[in-house]
Amino acid sequence: MAETDVVIIGAGLAGLGAAAAVRGAGGRAVVLEASGRTGGRARTDHPAALGGVWFDMGAVWLHNAEHNPLVPIARAAGDTLLRSDAIRQERTFIGDRLATEAELAAYSGAEPRYVAAADAILAEQEDVSLAEVTRRLPGDPWAATIEAWEGPVICAVDADRFSARDWRRNALAGSNLVPDGGIGAFVRRRLTQGLDIRLNSPATRVCWGNSGGEVTVETERGSITGGACIVTVSTGVLASGTLPFDPILPARVSEAVRQLPMGLVVKVVLRATGADRLGLPGHCFVDRILTRAGDPLIPFQCWPFGRDYVQGWIGGSTAWDLAKQGEAAAVDFALGYLRQAFGSRVDRLFAGGATLVTHWDADPWVRGAYCYAVPGAALARDVLGEPVSNGHLMFAGEACHVGLAGTLGGAWISGQAAARTALAATGFAGR
Residue 48 lies in a domain: no
Q: Is residue 157 part of a domain?
A: yes
- The predicted pLDDT at position 88 comes to 87
Residue 395 and residue 219: Cα distance in Å, rounded?
19
Task: Give the integer Cα–Cα distance in Å for 121 and 109.
Answer: 19
Find out whether 297 and 149 touch, Cβ atoms under 8 Å: yes
- Rounded Cα distance, 226 and 1, in Å: 8
pLDDT for 251: 98
Q: In the chain, how many domains are there?
A: 2
Question: Do 248 and 321 belong together in one domain?
Answer: no
My answer on whether 92 and 145 are in the same domain is yes
Among left, alpha and beta (phi > 0; psi -120 to 50; other), residue 28 is: beta
**Does a structural domain hold residue 268?**
yes
Position 16 in a domain: yes
Are residue 355 and residue 379 in the same domain, yes or no?
Answer: no
| Domain shared by 414 and 305, yes or no | no
Q: Of 210, 221, 214, 333, nearest to 266 (Cα)?
A: 333
Question: Quick check: bond before 247 cis, omega within 30?
Answer: yes
Distance between CA atoms of residues 157 and 316, nearest Å: 4
Q: Is residue 235 part of a domain?
A: yes
Query: What average pLDDT does the chain have?
Result: 96
Same domain assignment for residues 142 and 20: no
Give the pLDDT of residue 431: 66
**Proportion of the chain above pLDDT 70, given as a percent:** 99
Average pLDDT over every residue of 350-356: 97
Same domain, 18 and 167: no
Whether residue 131 is contained in a domain is answered as: yes
Whether the full predicted model's pTM is greater than 0.75, yes or no, is yes
Query: Within this chain, do residues 333 and 373 fall inside the same structural domain, yes or no?
Result: no
Same domain, residue pair 198 and 281: no
Residue 63 has pLDDT above 70, yes or no: yes
Q: Does 409 lie in the same domain as 371? A: yes
User: In this model, does residue 1 exceed pLDDT 60?
Assistant: no
pLDDT of residue 214: 96
Average pLDDT (8-36) is 98
Give 43 or 429, the one with higher predicted confidence: 43
> Is 323 within a domain?
yes
Listed residues 345, 362, 379: the one ending a domain? 362
What is the CATH number for 125?
3.90.660.10
Enumerate residues 6+ apart whose C-beta is below 8 A from 255: 380, 383
Classify residue 216: in a domain, yes or no: yes
**Digit-coded pLDDT (tens) for 112-133:** 999 999 999 999 999 999 999 9
pLDDT exceeds 90 at position 403? yes
| pLDDT at residue 189 greater than cutoff 60 | yes
Enclosing H/E stretch for 108: helix 101-108
Query: What is the extent of the structural domain holding 214?
Result: 4-39+191-261+366-426
Mean pLDDT of 166-175: 93
Q: Residue 211: its pLDDT value, please?
A: 87
Under DSSP, the state recorded for 391 is: G
- Same domain flag for 223 and 328: no
String of b and e for 248-263 (b: at least 16 CB within 10 Å)? Answer: ebbeebeebbebbbbb
**388 vs 30: CA distance, rounded Å:** 20
Amino acid at 19: A
